[in-house]
Chains A and B, each alone.
Chain A
Amino acid sequence: MAVMTYREALNLALREEMRRDARVFVMGEEVGLYEGAYKVTQGLLKEFGDKRVVDTPIAESGFTGVGVGAAMLGLRPVVEMMTFNFSILALDQIVNSAAKMLYMSGGQYNIPIVIRGPGGPAAQLAAQHSQSMEVYFYHVPGLKVVRPSTPADAKGLLKSAIRDDNPVIFIEAETLYAVKGEVPEDPDFTIPLGQAVVRREGTDVTVIAYMGMMYRALEVAEELAKEGISVELVDPRTLRPMDTETLIGSVRKTHRAVVIEAGAGFAGMGSEIASEIQEEAFDDLDAPVERVTGENAPMPYARNLELLKTPSKAKIAEAIRKVCYA
């Protein structure tokens, strides 16, 4: 077991998969010479050369389409979005080409592409650079969507994503790149897509959260333990396909659920999870499912307003107390 940062874990995953399969290549803005805007691809150009580590001009739609076209021929591109906010430019290629090619061609052309990069709120990056972009993708049949919270998840899930024969949207977080964690050393260590994980066991309430919110919820859980509230924290890891079995199983045990998401709440991930919980576990619920979400406004620049936009620890604690009638 090694200890490394989230960023290093991603780097190692890319390296291992590129060594393992010659069809895997990396493409994106500044991934080669610059060594990555967030240094995730550091050293890859040196090891693999410019055929397999391809710097692109600023043309998201164009180079994502190139990735899809290459995938049609059997290659396995890992396309980097410098941040996922820019993926909106490539939405047509992702949704209309990558996601649907297998279906429209009646099974002839699958697209084993990974589109990865950081996403979600950071620090005062303001409205256009702070979006929780998973919302745009997890709705689309044909796409898989992953949000890894820990270094071990980042490594294990990225490897699985690269080995998956379908288009995978892999959204990391700027704020997590420096987080250190334990990561298995085995180059064949992978985490299957579609598998949630229980981060903290508890008995009173199931809290569902991922990425930065997961860490925040963990802190709240430790504090509430002192008040006698036992929180079970579940991290879905893959948003689509979602491991509803683990989530529902936990709610059946605790009888209460709180879902946390950083993005604006309307029609967000929380609404889908809450809907599934009440459909599957209605009789086990002692309280309605509570959602704690980002505010429905673009991300403001001012620091104090930015802090108000995403769920605070206080808001999370309040929601947990509410469902526990505490």
Chain B
Amino acid sequence: MITKVLMPKLSEAMETGKVIKWLKKEGDPVKGGDVIAEIETDKANVEIEAFGSGALRKIIVDAGGQVPVGELIAIIADPADDISAVSAAPQKPAAPAAAPAAPAPAAPGAASTAAPPLPAMETYQSTPATSRVVPMTPSIAPAAAPATRRVKASPLAKKIAAQGGVDLRLVQGSGPGGRIVRRDVEAALSAPRPAPAAAPAPAAAVAAPRPAFVVPPRPGAEFEDMALSPMRAAIAKQMPLSKAPVPHFYVTSEIAMDRAWELRSELNALEGQPRVSVTDMVIKACALALLKNPGVNASFRSDPQGAAIRVHHRAHIGIAVALEQGLITPVLRDVDVKPLSQIAAEWRDLAERARAQKLRVQELSGATFSISNLGMFDVDEFSAIINPPEGAILAVGAVVEKPVVQDGEIRVGRRMKVTLSCDHRVMDGATGARFLQDLKRLLEEPLRLLL
């Protein structure tokens, strides 16, 4: 009877063993239970006993040899047995159940910031392979929590808001830390619409509803990206160093609003037309000026692929509205192709809904240019901060009567100061100035707004 002597597995973690010495020679008789060799394991030196009887026919691994657990190291058999089949082919036994497939731990220094991976756990055993040294995991300081402008709302509040179409950004939270909770959203949903501002025009005259304005099909791309010229690229790099992140510069102009004022009165005296305000005219004027100065209707884009200036081919203008809790900027889209009356009607509606906090999400984004008007607060002039990623914003002051020089004489004129804040990565002073010049001309020759 042939007995294979295999390198025994003497502990769970043992993977290889070394034969220290054989206590019997080839040919010696062997009885089951006889000690035949000394083996060095990961823990200790151990004597192994024969499991079968006969003679130690062949020693396959000599003293000093180190082999994996389960490998054939000798053959015991009766003197008459033919062991050629057994000793010929190298015996690879069925792998012991705990054979690990552990990846080597990351070389030290390879990942400077990431912690090196720990050696893999052996399959379904809960002790890691002890032959590998567990690396010292460097303590990594937890990343500082980013300053987010996340809306804090309870899961239930979010659910109700989503169902009711309420923009959580417009809801005031009454919970701890400003958390929006159910009752806040429910209050927002059931808030009565504020009564529209008293309109001087008699309601009967404007009974007939306006036909909906249809934006004509607009072939062509919404925008195109222009690669930065070397000069532009250099400027883009320099500017943030002095005024991160958006390098602002400001251009101011004083506009004579007399004729615009007159035109406004005349328009508003017409029957059946929506009331037009100074703001509406400024909006239209901006749109036309943007068409003439596409360099201002642009955004700085810093993609991972590379920076570019996005020139918009449409004018979507955001107009800032002051609410008690802050500022929001509803967006009037496609202003460049809408007539003044349409702009007036849409703007009135947007402003109302903005104050009632009933804007839709898409009405709060997508602007290519913004206007901020503090004239109703008797502000002469101010500089606004650009809404990224737009390239510019126009700050509009009040229309004031003041002494002006006209044809060599002092007269009373209506003047309005505007300040254009520009992103210097997108445009230079001249571009901004040209825009402002065009704007001034449009408002000082307001009939152009009706074209």
**Which residues of A approach B to under 8 Å, CB–CB?**
255, 282-287, 325
Q: Is the CB of B155 within 8 A of A282?
A: yes
- Residues A283 and B159 in contact in the complex (CB < 8 Å), given A325-B174, A325-B175: yes
Give, as a whole number of angstroms, the nearest-CB distance from B178 to chain A: 12
Which of the listed residues A284, A286, A287 has the most CB atoms from chain B within 10 Å of its own CB?
Answer: A286
Q: Is the CB of B155 within 8 A of A284?
A: yes
C-alpha spacing A284/B158, complex, angstroms: 10
Give, as a whole number of angstroms, the nearest-CB distance from A255 to chain B: 5
Known: A282-B155, A286-B156. 6 other contacts (CB 8 A): A283-B155, A283-B156, A286-B154, A287-B175, A325-B174, A325-B183
Residues on the A chain within 8 Å of B181, using CB: 286-287, 325
Which residues of chain B in 155-181 are interfacial with respect to chain A, using CB atoms and an 8 Å cutoff? 155-159, 174-175, 181
- B305-316 CB mask vs A (1 if < 8 Å, else 0) is 000000000000
Residues on the A chain within 8 Å of B183, using CB: 325
Q: Is the CB of A255 within 8 A of B156?
A: yes
Give, as a whole number of angstroms, the nearest-CB distance from B179 to chain A: 8
Give, as a whole number of angstroms, the nearest-CB distance from B10 to chain A: 26
Residues on the B chain within 8 Å of A284, using CB: 155-156, 159
Closest to B185 in A: A286
Closest to A278 in B: B155
Residues on the A chain within 8 Å of B159, using CB: 283-284
Does B57 reach chain A (CB closer than 8 Å)?
A: no
Which of the listed residues A283, A284, A285, A325 has the most CB atoms from chain B within 10 Å of its own CB?
Answer: A325
Residues on the B chain within 8 Å of A282, using CB: 155
C-alpha spacing A97/B274, complex, angstroms: 87
Which of the listed residues B154, B158, B159, B183 has the most CB atoms from chain A within 10 Å of its own CB?
Answer: B154
Give, as a whole number of angstroms, the nearest-CB distance from A18 to chain B: 45
Residues on the A chain within 8 Å of B157, using CB: 286
Give, as a whole number of angstroms, the nearest-CB distance from B182 to chain A: 5
Q: Is the CB of B155 within 8 A of A285?
A: yes
C-alpha spacing A283/B181, complex, angstroms: 12
C-alpha spacing A287/B159, complex, angstroms: 13
Residues on the B chain within 8 Å of A287, using CB: 154, 175, 181
Residues on the A chain within 8 Å of B174, using CB: 325
Give, as a whole number of angstroms, the nearest-CB distance from A321 to chain B: 12
Residues on the B chain within 8 Å of A283, using CB: 155-156, 158-159
C-alpha spacing A284/B157, complex, angstroms: 9
Closest to A255 in B: B156
Closest to B156 in A: A286
Give, as a whole number of angstroms, the nearest-CB distance from A248 to chain B: 14
Question: Could you pull out 5 A-B pairs where Cβ atoms are within 8 angstroms?
Answer: A255-B182, A283-B155, A284-B155, A287-B181, A325-B174
Number of A-B contacts defined by CB within 8 Å: 26
Which of the listed residues B156, B175, B182, B183 has the most CB atoms from chain A within 10 Å of its own CB?
Answer: B156
- B129-172 CB mask vs A (1 if < 8 Å, else 0) is 00000000000000000000000001111110000000000000
C-alpha spacing A285/B156, complex, angstroms: 5
Give, as a whole number of angstroms, the nearest-CB distance from B446 to chain A: 53
C-alpha spacing A287/B173, complex, angstroms: 13
C-alpha spacing A283/B155, complex, angstroms: 5
Residues on the B chain within 8 Å of A325, using CB: 174-175, 181, 183
Q: Which 10 A-B pairs have the closest CB atoms?
A: A286-B156, A286-B154, A283-B155, A286-B182, A285-B155, A255-B156, A282-B155, A283-B159, A286-B181, A325-B175
Give, as a whole number of angstroms, the nearest-CB distance from A88 to chain B: 27
Give, as a whole number of angstroms, the nearest-CB distance from A254 to chain B: 11
Give, as a whole number of angstroms, the nearest-CB distance from B109 to chain A: 40
C-alpha spacing A255/B181, complex, angstroms: 11
Give, as a whole number of angstroms, the nearest-CB distance from B263 to chain A: 53
Closest to B155 in A: A283
Closest to A285 in B: B155
C-alpha spacing A325/B176, complex, angstroms: 8
C-alpha spacing A282/B159, complex, angstroms: 11
Residues on the A chain within 8 Å of B158, using CB: 283
Give, as a whole number of angstroms, the nearest-CB distance from B184 to chain A: 9
Closest to B154 in A: A286
C-alpha spacing A255/B174, complex, angstroms: 17
C-alpha spacing A283/B163, complex, angstroms: 13
Which residues of chain B in 207-246 are interfacial with respect to chain A, using CB atoms and an 8 Å cutoff? none
C-alpha spacing A286/B175, complex, angstroms: 10
C-alpha spacing A283/B162, complex, angstroms: 12
C-alpha spacing A282/B155, complex, angstroms: 6
Residues on the A chain within 8 Å of B155, using CB: 282-286
Give, as a whole number of angstroms, the nearest-CB distance from A29 to chain B: 40
C-alpha spacing A287/B155, complex, angstroms: 8
Give, as a whole number of angstroms, the nearest-CB distance from B159 to chain A: 5
Closest to A322 in B: B176
Residues on the A chain within 8 Å of B154, using CB: 285-287
Which of the listed residues B155, B159, B182, B183 has the most CB atoms from chain A within 10 Å of its own CB?
Answer: B155
C-alpha spacing A180/B185, complex, angstroms: 46
Give, as a whole number of angstroms, the nearest-CB distance from B185 to chain A: 10
Closest to A281 in B: B155
C-alpha spacing A123/B21, complex, angstroms: 72
C-alpha spacing A287/B158, complex, angstroms: 12
Closest to B184 in A: A325
Give, as a whole number of angstroms, the nearest-CB distance from B160 to chain A: 9
Give, as a whole number of angstroms, the nearest-CB distance from A274 to chain B: 14
C-alpha spacing A27/B115, complex, angstroms: 57
Give, as a whole number of angstroms, the nearest-CB distance from B186 to chain A: 11
Give, as a whole number of angstroms, the nearest-CB distance from B230 to chain A: 54
C-alpha spacing A325/B185, complex, angstroms: 14
Residues on the A chain within 8 Å of B182, using CB: 255, 286
Closest to B174 in A: A325
Closest to B182 in A: A286
Residues on the A chain within 8 Å of B175, using CB: 287, 325
C-alpha spacing A287/B156, complex, angstroms: 8
C-alpha spacing A311/B157, complex, angstroms: 30
C-alpha spacing A9/B159, complex, angstroms: 47
Give, as a whole number of angstroms, the nearest-CB distance from B223 to chain A: 38
Give, as a whole number of angstroms, the nearest-CB distance from A122 to chain B: 37
Give, as a whole number of angstroms, the nearest-CB distance from B411 to chain A: 62
C-alpha spacing A255/B158, complex, angstroms: 13
C-alpha spacing A28/B349, complex, angstroms: 82
Give, as a whole number of angstroms, the nearest-CB distance from B73 to chain A: 37
C-alpha spacing A325/B175, complex, angstroms: 7
Which of the listed residues A255, A282, A284, A287 has the most CB atoms from chain B within 10 Å of its own CB?
Answer: A287
Give, as a whole number of angstroms, the nearest-CB distance from B92 to chain A: 34
Give, as a whole number of angstroms, the nearest-CB distance from B449 to chain A: 51
C-alpha spacing A255/B183, complex, angstroms: 12
C-alpha spacing A287/B184, complex, angstroms: 13
Give, as a whole number of angstroms, the nearest-CB distance from A295 to chain B: 23
C-alpha spacing A285/B175, complex, angstroms: 13
